[in-house]
Structure 1
């Protein structure tokens, strides 16, 4: 299958992967045939890219990091508990569910079990086939990214459960922010930005005394917008004042935000988001943490169409975990634009003089 911009899809193409709603329920099954009306509707709903069936790449399989069962359970718990907090707004007293910590603890166990059983250790791009409520899906994505990065770093299971919970609940404070501000498509005013920034402190207050939620997970909510140079919020603390887990979550939170469709901009590709992260090394993020993230992320996702420095055009069909920045590309077109009938592959981890020079049709209109 191939990953292509939704706006480049044409009627008659068939989905290579299912499309899910914000609850993790399948809305469109794989093999569903696209019509122009459906393509337009998916664009309106914020699906910028689709996995499409393609004869030349029929053998390319995209592994999901977690099972459908785990996704549905996680999104259901996030939605139910976050909604409960929203609906309590304005009441004199909010009695949190005594089962919130236990419910999210069970979710984390399912996520860690799924991640343990994955064949590929690489962190793959999420979000390409989800019609999402940004807050719910982003929370799950950050949890998955943070847990996988923690695995790569070498944390034990208890530590992974804590940092994973920190990722899952890092934005819970946004349930206390006016939803009109959260969903606003245009630029925020200074007052609105100040209001949104309160979510870090709100999240800490919601979690710090919650049974079965580690205090360090609450600190992840509190500190995930703090930065090394003190330019972050809510307290403007620096470097060693920021907890290690919050530093990891700051990186994956930024990465997922950049690689996810937002009302005011299209999603970036991983290699573009990685460039932004590296631009912040030393001031916003620790170099060793961003470098570890880079070394464990498939910055050119499977199915992506790329142009090589030789002029040849092809699709990423395999990723070498040892050097994920140099995938194997199946060449579909020669440099002169001639389409091939006999396809061949170039392993960039072996052919070091060749590199990806362009990612086709991404983020342009």
Structure 2
């Protein structure tokens, strides 16, 4: 299969990997033939990249980090709990919700169990879902990223539970932000942005007294927009004043925001987002955390189309854990754009004179 941006997908192509609906259930199964109506609908609902079946790359296997049952339970719990808090906020009811700790604790146990079976897997794009609200899928994405990084860093299960709950609920304070600000598809005014920034304080207040929610998880909601140099919010703290869990979440929160479709811009590809992340080394994010993230992220995801400095074009068919920026590429086209009768693989970690110069240049 190959990973294509939605704008170059054509009718007649067949879906190579499932797409999930807003409830975490399968919306479109692999093998379905895409029509222009389906393509337009996926683009409208924020699916920027999809996997397309291609016999030349049929051997690509994309790891399924979460089971369908876990994904369904996680998305359902996020949607149900967050919407209840949103409704309470609109009706000026008490914001607390005593089932948060119990319900999300059960979800986190399932997520940790699933990810434990794939903790050596590279982190791939996770936005193959149609969602009615960015907040819900983003919360799950950040949790997956942060938990996998916590495993790679060596945290024990109790640590992972605290980090995981903090990442899953890091944006829960946004349930208290007026809907028209939360979903505005234009630049926020200064007053609106000041209101949006208060979601960190609201999140802390929602979580700090909740049964079965560790206080450190509440501090993740409070601190995930703080930055090393003190340029963050809400308190402008810096360096060691920021808890490590919040630093991990701040890093992956920024990355997922850049690689996920937003109402005001299309998603970036992983290598583009990582370039921006690296510009914040030791000013916004700790170098050692960025480097571990770089080593765990699939900068060029399986199935993505690339152009090499030889002029040849192909698809990434394998990842190199030691050198993520130098994957295995199956060459499919000549420099002149002609299809190659017998495609061949090039391991860029061994062919150091060959490098990727472009992405998604072929359909």
CA shift in 2, pair 1:146/1:119, >3 Å: closer
Matches within 5 A, 1:16-95: 16-91=16-91, 93-94=93-94
1:50/1:129 contact within 8 Å kept: no
- Report the CA distance between 1:307 and its aligned residue: 0.5
Does residue 18 of structure 2 align to residue 5 of structure 1? Answer: no
Aligned counterparts of 1:242 and 1:32: Cα–Cα separation in 2: 47
Q: For 1:175, what is the secondary structure of its paired residue? A: helix
- Report the CA distance between 1:80 and its aligned residue: 1.1
Aligned counterparts of 2:132 and 2:297: Cα–Cα separation in 1: 22
Q: For 1:314, what is the secondary structure of its paired residue? A: strand
- For structure 2, list consecutive stretches of 5 or more residues without a partner in the other structure: none
Aligned to 2:274: 274
CA shift in 2, pair 1:44/1:91, >3 Å: closer
CA shift in 2, pair 1:239/1:101, >3 Å: same
- Report the CA distance between 1:121 and its aligned residue: 2.5
Matches within 5 A, 1:332-343: 332-343=332-343
Aligned to 1:312: 312
Which of 212-221 and 84-93 deviates more?
84-93
Q: TM-score, normalised by structure 1?
A: 0.96
- Report the CA distance between 1:311 and its aligned residue: 1.1
Aligned to 1:218: 218
- Report the CA distance between 1:97 and its aligned residue: 3.4
Q: For 1:89, what is the secondary structure of its paired residue? A: helix
- For structure 1, list consecutive stretches of 5 or more residues without a partner in the other structure: none
Spell out, residue by residue over 1:46-101, the C-alpha distance to the aligned partner (whole angstroms, 9 max, x if none). 11111111111111121121111000000111111111111111556526333220
- Report the CA distance between 1:132 and its aligned residue: 4.8
- Report the CA distance between 1:168 and its aligned residue: 0.1
Aligned to 2:101: 101
Q: For 1:257, what is the secondary structure of its paired residue? A: helix
1:19/1:131 contact within 8 Å kept: no
**Aligned residue pair count:** 362
Q: TM-score, normalised by structure 2?
A: 0.97
1:306/1:356 contact within 8 Å kept: yes
Aligned to 1:163: 163
Aligned counterparts of 1:91 and 1:16: Cα–Cα separation in 2: 44
Aligned counterparts of 2:285 and 2:339: Cα–Cα separation in 1: 44
Does residue 288 of structure 2 align to residue 262 of structure 1? Answer: no
- Report the CA distance between 1:129 and its aligned residue: 3.8
2:15/2:53 contact within 8 Å kept: yes
Aligned to 1:284: 284
- Report the CA distance between 1:20 and its aligned residue: 1.1
Aligned counterparts of 1:11 and 1:119: Cα–Cα separation in 2: 36
Aligned to 1:357: 357
Aligned counterparts of 1:235 and 1:119: Cα–Cα separation in 2: 34
Aligned to 1:348: 348
Q: For 2:293, what is the secondary structure of its paired residue? A: helix
Spell out, residue by residue over 1:243-286, the C-alpha distance to the aligned partner (whole angstroms, 9 max, x if none). 11000100000000000001111101111100000001121111
Aligned to 1:131: 131
Spell out, residue by residue over 1:153-207, the C-alpha distance to the aligned partner (whole angstroms, 9 max, x if none). 1111110111011100000000000111111111111111011000000000000
Q: For 2:62, what is the secondary structure of its paired residue? A: coil
Which of 278-287 and 122-131 deviates more?
122-131
Aligned counterparts of 1:207 and 1:131: Cα–Cα separation in 2: 25
- Report the CA distance between 1:354 and its aligned residue: 1.0
